[in-house]
Amino acid sequence: MAQISQTLTYSDIKTTEIYVNTPNVVDLSTYEKFEKRLDEARQAK
């Protein structure tokens, strides 16, 4: 979340959380699903 805030024009993590609408920490299964989807997308290119 901090990295997203730094690239935006305001660098406020609380504001970023509102825009992104997601908790700062996700459980491992959510990350694993995201990582799997990224790999699938990369292989499709």
pLDDT tens, residue by residue, 1-45 = 666 656 666 667 777 677 777 666 667 888 888 889 999 999 997
The answer to whether residues 29 and 45 touch, using CB atoms and an 8 Å cutoff, is no
pLDDT at residue 31, as a whole number = 81
The confidence score (pLDDT) of residue 18 equals 75
Q: What pLDDT does 12 receive? A: 72
The tokens of 33 are what?
Answer: 């699903």
| pTM, entire model | 0.41
- Please tell me the predicted confidence (pLDDT) of residue 4: 64
Q: How far is CA 44 from CA 2, 30, 31, 35, 41, in A?
A: 30, 21, 20, 14, 5
